[in-house]
Amino acid sequence: MPPFVRAKEEKCGICFVLWRVLRTFAIDKRHTIIMKELLLVCVGSFFGGGARYLVSKAIQTWLSVSFPWGTMTVNVVGCFLIGLLSGLSLSGQISPSTKLILVTGFCGGFTTFSTFMNENLLMGRDETVLPAILYTLSSLVLGLIAVVVGYQLVK
């Protein structure tokens, strides 16, 4: 058992439980590595999903409009974060494990492409085609700009 689990076993039972789960499904060293990576992605996704809910809800509550500003804000910020973190990863400034937890996990849980597409469909069904088109185009353009800015900040 790794030292971090032994040292915190009394304080953090979840570390012990997660380690036992990893060991149960790990057949050999390669599977242990895969399970560790999966755990990193899951932890990042947990926090990314929670952050998505909080940010989106706060924006929607603050603006009090039916247009999905919360989802668009989350997607643009997520694009920026993915650009920034991917740039840091490409330049070797963050480890592969950090990239897994932050890019694949956190940003994957934080961004909301499926919600974005569903909101577009619902806007189109409600015969509000122009707002749906504006929402799609502005999300794509702002998202692309945010990714580029994120990469540029790392250079």
> Do the Cβ atoms of 96 and 86 come closer than 8 Å?
no
pLDDT digits (tens, 9 = 90+) for 43-55: 999 999 999 999 9
What integer pLDDT is reported at residue 6 of this predicted model? 45
Alpha carbons 69 and 59: distance in angstroms, whole number: 7
| CA dist list (Å): 31 to 34, 39, 97, 102, 115 | 5, 12, 16, 22, 33
pLDDT over 70 percentage in the chain: 79
Between these two residues, 29 and 105, which has the higher pLDDT value? 105
> Does pLDDT of 24 surpass 90?
no
On whether the CB atoms of residues 87 and 150 are closer than 8 A, the answer is yes
For residue range 67-118, list pLDDT tens digits in order. 899 999 999 999 999 889 988 988 999 999 999 999 989 998 998 787 788 7
pLDDT band for position 22 (cuts 50, 70, 90): low
